[in-house]
Amino acid sequence: MCGIVGYVGQQNVVDVVMGGLRRLEYRGYDSAGVAVVAGDEVLVRRRAGKLANLEKLLADKPLPAATFGMGHTRWATHGAPNDRNAHPHLDEAAKVAVVHNGIIENFAALRSHLEDNGVTLASDTDTEVVSHLLAEQFDGDLAEAMRAVCRKLEGAFTLVAVHADQPDVVVGARRNSPLVVGRGDGENFLGSDVSAFIAHTRHAVELGQDQVVELRADRVDVTTFDGQPAEVREYEVDWDASAAEKGGYDYFMLKEIYEQPKAVADTLLGRIDDEGLLQLDEMRLSDEDLRDVDKIVIIGCGTAFHSGLIAKYSIEHWTRIPVEVEVASEFRYRDPILGRRTLVIAISQSGETMDTLMAIRHAREQGSRVLAICNVNGSTIPRESDAVVYTYAGPEIAVASTKAFLTQIIAVHLVALYLAQVRGMKWSDEIARHVDDLAAMPEAVDRVLDTVGPVRALARELVDARAVLFLGRHVGFPVALEGALKLKELAYMHAEGFPAGELKHGPIALIEEGLPVVVVVPPLSRKVLHDKIVSNIQEIRARGARTIVIAEEGDDTVAPYADTLIPVPAVPTLLQPVVAIVPLQVFACELASAKGYDVDQPRNLAKSVTVE
Ligand code: F6R
DSSP β-bridge partners for residue 324: 297
74 with 223, same domain?
A: yes
Please give the residue that has the higher pLDDT: either 241 or 416. 416
Which atom of ligand 1 is nearest to 486's Cα? 7
Whose alpha carbon is nearest atom 6 of ligand 1? 301
For residue range 170-213, what is the model confidence (pLDDT) as tens digits?
999 999 888 999 999 999 999 999 999 999 999 999 999 999 99
Largest pairwise CA distance in the chain:
78
Q: What pLDDT was estimated at residue 280?
A: 85
In a domain, 371, yes or no: yes
422 with 380, same domain?
A: yes
Residue 332 pLDDT grade (very low, low, confident, very high; cuts 50, 70, 90)? confident
What mean pLDDT comes out for the span 301-321? 97
At 436, phi and psi to the nearest 5? -60, -40
377 with 417, same domain?
A: yes
Tell me the CATH number at 32.
Answer: 3.60.20.10
pLDDT value at 275 more than 80: no
In a domain, 499, yes or no: yes
Least Cα distance to 249 among 484, 593, 578 occurs for 593
Please tell me the distance between residue 394's alpha carbon and the centre of ligand 1 in angstroms: 15
Are the beta carbons of 58 and 76 closer than 8 angstroms?
no
434 with 291, same domain?
A: yes
Which atom of ligand 1 is nearest to 349's Cα? 14
Which residues form the pocket of ligand 1, taking CB atoms under 6 Å from any ligand atom? 301-304, 348-350, 353, 356, 400-401, 485, 489, 608-609
Please tell me the distance between residue 351's alpha carbon and the centre of ligand 1 in angstroms: 10
Please tell me the distance between residue 299's alpha carbon and the centre of ligand 1 in angstroms: 12
The 3-state DSSP class for residue 282 equals strand
Local structure of residue 165 (DSSP, 8 states): T
Q: How many alpha carbons lie under 13 Å from residue 304 in its C-beta half-sphere?
A: 27
273 with 194, same domain?
A: no
Please tell me the distance between residue 74's alpha carbon and the centre of ligand 1 in angstroms: 18
7 with 128, same domain?
A: yes
Q: What pLDDT was estimated at residue 283?
A: 80
93 with 212, same domain?
A: yes
Q: What pLDDT was estimated at residue 469?
A: 97
* Average pLDDT for the chain: 94
Q: What pLDDT was estimated at residue 5?
A: 97
Please tell me the distance between residue 391's alpha carbon and the centre of ligand 1 in angstroms: 14
Which atom of ligand 1 is nearest to 356's Cα? 16
In a domain, 186, yes or no: yes
Whose alpha carbon is nearest atom 3 of ligand 1? 302
Q: Which of 256, 609, 611 to mutate to test the pocket of ligand 1 (most atoms within 8 A of CB)?
A: 609
Are the beta carbons of 165 and 75 closer than 8 angstroms?
no
Q: Select which of 2, 150, 301, 589 is catalytic.
A: 2
> In whole angstroms, what is the distance from residue 595 CA to residue 490 CA?
10
For residue range 441-461, what is the model confidence (pLDDT) as tens digits?
999 999 999 999 999 999 999
Least Cα distance to 374 among 393, 397, 348, 394 occurs for 348
465 with 397, same domain?
A: no
Number of domains in the chain: 3
> In whole angstroms, what is the distance from residue 346 CA to residue 351 CA?
9
Domain boundary (183, 211, 244) is at 244
Are the beta carbons of 73 and 606 closer than 8 angstroms?
no
For residue range 67-90, what is the model confidence (pLDDT) as tens digits?
999 999 998 888 899 999 999 999
Contacts of 388 (CB under 8 A, 6+ apart): 280, 281, 282, 371, 372, 373, 374, 382
Are the beta carbons of 462 and 548 closer than 8 angstroms?
no
In a domain, 259, yes or no: no
In a domain, 98, yes or no: yes
Q: Which of 251, 253, 301 to mutate to test the pocket of ligand 1 (most atoms within 8 A of CB)?
A: 301
454 with 431, same domain?
A: no
In a domain, 471, yes or no: yes
pTM of the model: 0.86
Domain boundary (228, 244, 260) is at 244
> In whole angstroms, what is the distance from residue 406 CA to residue 178 CA?
24
13 with 155, same domain?
A: yes
486 is catalytic: no
In a domain, 262, yes or no: no
For residue range 231-244, what is the model confidence (pLDDT) as tens digits?
888 999 988 877 77
Tell me the CATH number at 309.
Answer: 3.40.50.10490
Please tell me the distance between residue 151's alpha carbon and the centre of ligand 1 in angstroms: 31
Residue 568 pLDDT grade (very low, low, confident, very high; cuts 50, 70, 90)? very high
403 is catalytic: no
State the DSSP string of 78-93.
SS-SSTTTPSPEE-TT
In a domain, 142, yes or no: yes
177 with 29, same domain?
A: yes
419 with 318, same domain?
A: yes
Which atom of ligand 1 is nearest to 353's Cα? 16
Domain that holds residue 422: 269-439
Residue 272 pLDDT grade (very low, low, confident, very high; cuts 50, 70, 90)? confident
Please tell me the distance between residue 304's alpha carbon and the centre of ligand 1 in angstroms: 6
Q: What pLDDT was estimated at residue 428?
A: 85
Q: Which of 193, 310, 331, 353 to mutate to test the pocket of ligand 1 (most atoms within 8 A of CB)?
A: 353
Q: What pLDDT was estimated at residue 467?
A: 96
Domain boundary (382, 406, 439) is at 439
Which atom of ligand 1 is nearest to 408's Cα? 14
Instruction: Name the E strands within 273-398.
Output: 282-283, 295-300, 323-327, 342-348, 369-374, 387-390
